[in-house]
Amino acid sequence: MGKLTSLPTKAPKDLDEDKVKKKTLKLSLEITKLLHNMSVQKKHSIILVLQGMDASGKDGVVKSVFFEMANSIYNVVAFKKPTEEEMAHDFLWRIHKNTPAKGRLVIFNRSHYEDVLIQRVHKWVTEETVANRMNAINSFEENLLKDNGTIMVKCYLHISPEKQLEKLKERMEDPYKQWKHNPHDFEERKSWDRYMECYEDAIKKSKIPWHIIPSDNRWYRNYCVAKILYDTLVKLEIPDPVIVKPK
């Protein structure tokens, strides 16, 4: 991977938006079927990590790709500011207790990487602590796969600062999106370059690779995440359940 800031944030110019949206819908339906099969087989589980700057579209991906799916086969965990109880434990405690049982998909809206990103950007932890936490994260992810058949699919939603500003302003002006408005998001924008440095470092030091998702165009962002998850499920070669008919 080159410099994170040099990677595209927009969809390729030759793509047809309507056609891509139809492909995303088809993928969503196929993912639903495959997840149902996975829930019956109970051999694997999946963690889909959605990480990115504010307004990069983490909630949007969930609404667009997983709208057909029942909560019985997946759930979403949003990792916000740690509670007092969570702060009293090691940083992976709140993550580990939200990992999926076999047969389930869990979507992490933000994740354990917050502890090597926002805390590093604001210098709330030392560089030594960051290095130790990255080692712990790599071991944690590898052990999940070895011990429980849990597959980690990590997506960084790569949005441009210009598009982010547009979306943040939209939250202020659109009555249906004002519930998302947080003045602190504008303050965080001032550390954009430092965030990019910390994201790039975390991505490069991860043993389980990240998928960099161009996210300025929502329809393309949703398609990319859906395609990656679909391809992951197909590779598991999960059989259709055997239906035993009553005699």
With respect to residue 7, please indicate whether it lies within any of the assigned structural domains: no
Contact 207, 144 (CB under 8 A): no
Predicted pLDDT at 110: 95
Is the pTM above the cut of 0.75?
yes
Question: Residue 241 falls within a domain, yes or no?
Answer: no
The answer to whether residue 217 is domain-embedded is yes
- The secondary structure element, H or E, covering residue 106 is strand 105-109
Q: Note the pLDDT of residue 72.
A: 76
Q: What pLDDT is attached to residue 173?
A: 82
- The rounded percent of the chain whose pLDDT value lies above 70 is 99
Residue 114, SS3 per DSSP:
helix
The three-state secondary structure class of 96 is: helix
Helices 58-65 and 218-235: angle between axes, nearest 10 degrees: 60
Q: Number of structural domains, the chain?
A: 1
**Residue 35 located in a structural domain:** yes
Distances (CA, A) of 240 to 18, 33, 36, 194: 31, 9, 9, 47
Domain CATH number, residue 108: 3.40.50.300
Q: CA 38 from chain center: how many Å?
A: 20
Assess contact for 37 and 238: CB atoms under 8 A: yes
Task: In whole angstroms, give the CA distance from residue 124 to residue 58.
Answer: 25
* Cα separation, 170 vs 165, whole angstroms: 8
**pLDDT for the residue numbered 183:** 79
**In-domain check, residue 243:** no
Tell me, what's the pLDDT at 244? 67
222 vs 99: CA distance, rounded Å: 23
Give the list of residues 6+ apart from residue 127 with CB closer than 8 angstroms, or none.
120
- Per residue in 192-229, pLDDT tens? 999 999 999 999 999 999 999 999 999 999 999 999 99
Residues 178 and 176: their CA atoms lie apart, in Å, by: 6
**Comparing C-alpha atoms, which of 67, 78, 60 is closest to residue 167?**
60
Any domain includes 1: no
Q: pLDDT at position 98, please?
A: 95
pLDDT at 34: 94
- Tell me, yes or no, whether 240 lies in a domain: no
Mean pLDDT (10-residue bins), the chain, 247 residues: 90 96 96 93 95 95 85 88 92 95 95 94 96 97 91 97 92 78 85 96 97 98 98 93 73
In a domain? residue 149 = yes
pLDDT at site 187: 87
